Amino acid sequence: MQRLRGAVIGVGHMGGHHARKLFARDDVDLVLVDPDKGHLGPLPAGLDFAVIAAPTVTHADLALPLLQAGVACLIEKPLAATLEQARSLACFSRLSVGHIERFNPAVRAVGAVRPVFVECTRLSPWRAPTAGARGTDVDVVADLMVHDLDLARRWLGPGPITDLRAIGVGVLSGGTDIVDARVEIGPAGSGPDDHPGGVAVLRASRVSLAPVRTVRLFGPGQYYSLDLLHGQAHRVVWDGAVRAEGLRQEPVDVRSGDALEAQHDAFLAAVRGDAPFAVPGAQAVEAMELVARVQGALEAG
């Protein structure tokens, strides 16, 4: 297998995880660059790829010269600090964005399910070591809810946003730290393979005492219950049941695996030209457009 030369730029919370996983591979030579510590001199020549895990506000400045030089980039979500910056980066084909929940074993286990109602809860403890640390340089919608907005878009289809409402509160960061949102997506097309759309109800908080990442996907006659934190999934079937005792729960076979390693596998395969980039810039822009819509609803009250 072709050995690749790469860099991790930004070695904070998420960058540290990227570095640890990539150093463990035998097909990668890796260097670390930490802009927060003033380590941003000229990057080594001949890079095949870069993982950008620095604060979101720096993504565009860090990624643009690399992408222009033909270096493949895996950029942590959100893709950039603004939609304008994100769209400028999305023009490059050698780009994938770190929507890691797409690689979660529980998400992969349910496959191409098509729900009409999606319910997501994502709670996280406050972990910012300093003001402006990666993640907390943006609000909770761009930091946490963006994962579930991306998944909801993938599950409910590419139809138009027909209704969106949100309410939020600030607690620790000076910005919004807890948000509830309701997103209604209209149908896309009218053929048998087109999606009828549906509704997503999302809650995100970064001031929880313990992490929670759960999803429920409702369709005709059944729903799936996913625990993304522990990689578990169940299918609940009602088959005409009229009481709770009539519901039948079946475990879904979830293959063990690490989402970050799976993301690296997919990204490096794309770097080698063996597969397409898993989360291209255009899809990351879609998620950011939803983020902006939720933020706009919060501002509108």
Which CATH architecture does the domain made up of 102-256 adopt? Answer: 2-Layer Sandwich (3.30)
Contact 181, 142 (CB under 8 A): no
Q: Tell me, what's the pLDDT at 40?
A: 58
Run of H or E residues at 105: helix 105-109
| Domains 4-98+260-278 and 102-256 alike in fold | no
Query: Among 43, 60, 61, which Cα is nearest to 5's?
Result: 43
The confidence band for 15, taking pLDDT boundaries of 50, 70 and 90, is very high
Question: 199 versus 45: which is more confidently predicted?
Answer: 199
For tokens 């493949």, name the residue.
72
Q: Is 263 helix (H, G, I), strand (E, B) or coil?
A: helix
Instruction: Give the integer Cα–Cα distance in Å for 300 and 296.
Output: 6
Instruction: Give the integer Cα–Cα distance in Å for 106 and 120.
Output: 14
Q: Tell me, what's the pLDDT at 103?
A: 96
Q: Tell me, what's the pLDDT at 134?
A: 44
pTM: 0.89
- pLDDT mean over 238-262: 86
The confidence band for 221, taking pLDDT boundaries of 50, 70 and 90, is confident
Question: 272 versus 34: which is more confidently predicted?
Answer: 272
DSSP letters of 167-180? EEE-SSSSS--EEE
pLDDT of 63 > 80? The answer is: yes
Q: Tell me, what's the pLDDT at 39?
A: 56
pLDDT of 274 > 50? The answer is: yes
- Residue 44 makes CB contacts below 8 A (sequence gap 6+) with 5, 7, 31
The confidence band for 41, taking pLDDT boundaries of 50, 70 and 90, is low
Q: What is the mean pLDDT of the chain?
A: 90
Query: Among 45, 13, 257, which Cα is nearest to 134's?
Result: 13
pLDDT of 89 > 80? The answer is: yes
The radius of gyration of the chain from alpha carbons, rounded to an integer in Å, stands at 20
pLDDT of 111 > 50? The answer is: yes
247 φ/ψ sector (left φ>0, alpha ψ -120 to 50, else beta): beta
Looking at domain 4-98+260-278, does it have CATH number 3.90.400.10? no
**Percent of the chain topping pLDDT 90:** 70
pLDDT of 37 > 70? The answer is: no
User: What are the structure tokens assigned to 222, written together?
Assistant: 């059944």
User: What are the structure tokens assigned to 105, written together?
Assistant: 């074993």
- For residue 238, how far is the Cα from the chain centroid? 31
Convert the pLDDT of each residue in 114-162 to its tens digit: 999 999 999 998 876 554 444 566 789 988 999 999 999 999 998 999 9
Instruction: Give the integer Cα–Cα distance in Å for 206 and 179.
Output: 10
CA angle (170, 56, 69) in 5-degree steps: 170
Domain residue spans of the chain: 4-98+260-278, 102-256
Helices (H) and strands (E) in the chain, counts: 8, 13
Instruction: List alpha helices for 69-104, DSSP H.
Output: 83-90
User: What are the structure tokens assigned to 223, written together?
Assistant: 């729903």
The confidence band for 192, taking pLDDT boundaries of 50, 70 and 90, is low
Q: How many residues does the chain have?
A: 301
